Structure 1
Amino acid sequence: MTEQTERTLAGPQPATRPLTGTRPLGEVRRWPKSFTDRLTAPLPGVRAMARLAREGAMRPGPEGLRDIPQLPYAPGPLPAVDTTTVAVTWAGHASWVVRIGGLTVLTDPVWSRKILGTPARVTPVGVRWEDLPHIDAVVISHNHYDHLDAPTLRRLPRDTPLFVPAGLGRWCRRRGFTLVTELDWWEAAEIQAPDSTIVRFDFVPAHHWSKRTLTDTCRSLWGGWVLTDQQGRRVHFAGDTGYGGWFKEIGSRYPGIDLALLPIGAYDPRWWLGPVHMDPEEAVEACQDLDARRMAPMHWGTFLLSAEPVMEPLTRVRKAWEKAERPREDLWDLPVGASKLI
């Protein structure tokens, strides 16, 4: 069968769209008061909250907790890199040290032992703060406490470039950060590395929501990030998201994603979390939709946010990857603290 015949049988293929121009760094912008029109599923109402309280299925049971000592934790030194290398190190949960185009970028950095409303982390942070190189930029996916951690951000110099969703800039500026770039979906900005190479930061949609206090539901946006260096290598950081049609659109607009950092945990019960958190099988499907070469699972094995057994996300994602007939070496199921290079 020819490649053209395969495309025809697969149906119409989305056309690759040209990338937009970039926004100025640190631009102060006005946003709508609410982003509820961006929701891809209704938020849970009173009946759903009552059902969750009645079922009491918010944390793993005793059987699911027995595997905590087996959670993979293998911290090691950060690898040596240069502008021709892309490296990722999993610090735990959705926190990665991404080194691309000569820059060091943190994603959703949470170095705290405990966050509001959640038991303390069950694996230590995989990279000591003192061992981090100079941080050139931070990307935030949304404002939930397990992704936007004020105590961790306070450790950063206030001139650190922050890339955040629309509506979140004021929160950052009130804490003294002076170079905060807010982006809407499909918008981008760029940073120049010391050797004059450029890294592009594109903000892309996700199936999620935002809330930090009783009165700010969906007052800021949520999403993922695509980081691209001058050689065209791409890393997609999905943040927190359910499964849905955005992944194919992202893959269409940003072809050739080398690595997708995708969440696989905090999915049970499905009736409650399905719209906003992927399960492992959906994460593999999302990787397929993105047409990403490699996948690195995240958002599991750190904080106990839901009812599935602590090791279940790892075993299920490995089975789903095998079922999809993807090369085993392209599933980067790293222990907390481990690194990989492209």
Structure 2
Amino acid sequence: MRNKRYVNQDQVEQHNSLKQFKRWRQERIRKLKLKDYSYRVPQAEPDLPFLTGNREIPSITWVGHSTFLIQLGGLNIVTDPVWSGQMAFQKRLAPPGIPIEDVPPVDVVLVSHSHYDHLSIASLRRLTGGRQLLVPAGLSAKLKMKGFSSVKELHWWESVTIKGVKFTFVPSQHWTRRNPWDTNSSHWGGWVMETAGAHRPVMQTHNREETAQVMSASYQETAAASDWKTEKPEKGKNRPSERPAVPASTIYFAGDSGYFRGFKEIGSRFQIDVALMPIGAYEPEWFMSPQHVSPEEALQAFEDTGAKWFVPMHYGAFKLADDTPREALDRLEAERCRRCLEEERIVVLPLGETWKLTKNSDDHSTS
């Protein structure tokens, strides 16, 4: 019996044929000679005592690429675990924000899809804790063969609740393959995380002016990243305590995706506070656009979802395409200005920094 092959919501040609791949590689040889990779994503000293002891305050820490440590509802959640030092023949551009040996025990691992830059088996093995794996449909058998027993696979729009946190697997526009024979044999998507009571009315603007001022200053400092290069910030600078305390109980992790109508549907089903959205690996766009949003498309997707805050990801770790981390951030900022979006709504996190979130005083959910 032939294995099931998963498809996207819309019929879209994925540019992943050998002929298209060869064309891109030939173009890339010429382009990369003109690219400036001197910029490095800013790096902050991780607040390990807080992360290790915290079970109450929601927080988001960017490890790198699409890997986050999210603390929500008392759970330690890791997305797309990749601490690899290189991808194919490309060395990692910046070290992970948290060394894998310092990651606190993990309760839940969310996998968006099985591409190697989103699922590293070696990294997954090194994480400690219960490690309940939530994965796309079609992927659990492979992981169980690798020795992982706590695996649950979900189809689009299916949900599971773990200790009061609801996880829903939502669509994206992508594809997947780990070897020449398993193309699209498992699905792909994003994850929406909700704490109890996340069905509350529209989020209040408690301390909005103070929040805006702090977030704007933080954004400006991080966006001026050419001054950071590879240096770490001074001790005590850009600490998590300097990030704004904002109410949040619903976090959307988009995984990998080209731009598609599904972003609007996700926004219609959930009241999203924070969206973790990809902005990198988009060039050349003739090749990448069906599977990876550009920074401009990422902002359109962000507006489609109706989310309050945007945290960029999927840039700065690996040379997966022809764009550079600096180009991705510059295009994101240019498009934000063109759209007249408030600066404070785009939260550019340094690697390793923890953004602490607080619940609204009117939110009666429990952890």
What is the RMSD of the two structures over their aligned residues, measured on CA atoms?
2.1
2:335 partner SS: helix
Q: Shift of the alpha carbon at 1:157?
A: 4.8
TM-score, length-scaled by structure 2: 0.78
Q: Distance in 2 between matches of 1:328 and 1:316?
A: 14
In the alignment, structure 2 segments of 5+ residues that lack a partner are: 199-248, 358-367
2:337 partner SS: helix
Match of 1:248 in 2: 264
Q: Shift of the alpha carbon at 1:74?
A: 2.1
Q: Distance in 2 between matches of 1:219 and 1:135?
A: 27
Contact 1:201 1:227 (C-alpha < 8 Å) held by counterparts:
yes
Instruction: Determine whether 1:206 maps to 2:172.
Output: yes
Match of 1:272 in 2: 287
Instruction: Determine whether 1:77 maps to 2:47.
Output: yes
Which of residues 181, 184, 194 in structure 2 aligns to 1:215? 181
Q: Distance in 1 between matches of 2:62 and 2:330?
A: 18
Q: Distance in 2 between matches of 1:131 and 1:82?
A: 14
In the alignment, structure 1 segments of 5+ residues that lack a partner are: 1-30, 193-197
Q: Shift of the alpha carbon at 1:154?
A: 1.2
Contact 2:160 2:166 (C-alpha < 8 Å) held by counterparts:
yes
2:60 partner SS: strand
Q: 1:55 to 1:63 in 2, by over 3 A?
A: closer
Detail structure 1 runs of 4+ shifted over 4 Å in the superposition. Answer: 37-40, 78-84
Q: Shift of the alpha carbon at 1:223?
A: 0.2
Match of 2:114 in 1: 143
Q: Shift of the alpha carbon at 1:83?
A: 5.8
Match of 2:195 in 1: 229
Match of 2:254 in 1: 238
Instruction: Determine whether 1:295 maps to 2:310.
Output: yes
Instruction: Determine whether 1:329 maps to 2:295.
Output: no
Q: Distance in 1 between matches of 2:279 and 2:161?
A: 29
* Residues 269-310 of structure 1: CA deviation (Å, up to 9, x unaligned): 000001100111111111100000000000001111011133
1:276 partner SS: coil
Contact 1:227 1:234 (C-alpha < 8 Å) held by counterparts:
yes
* Residues 191-234 of structure 1: CA deviation (Å, up to 9, x unaligned): 11xxxxx0011000001001000100000000000000113110
2:95 partner SS: coil
Name the amino acid aligned to 2:255: G
* Residues 226-269 of structure 1: CA deviation (Å, up to 9, x unaligned): 000113110000011111101000000112x1100000000000
TM-score, length-scaled by structure 1: 0.83
Match of 1:23 in 2: none
Give the aligned length: 303
2:334 partner SS: helix
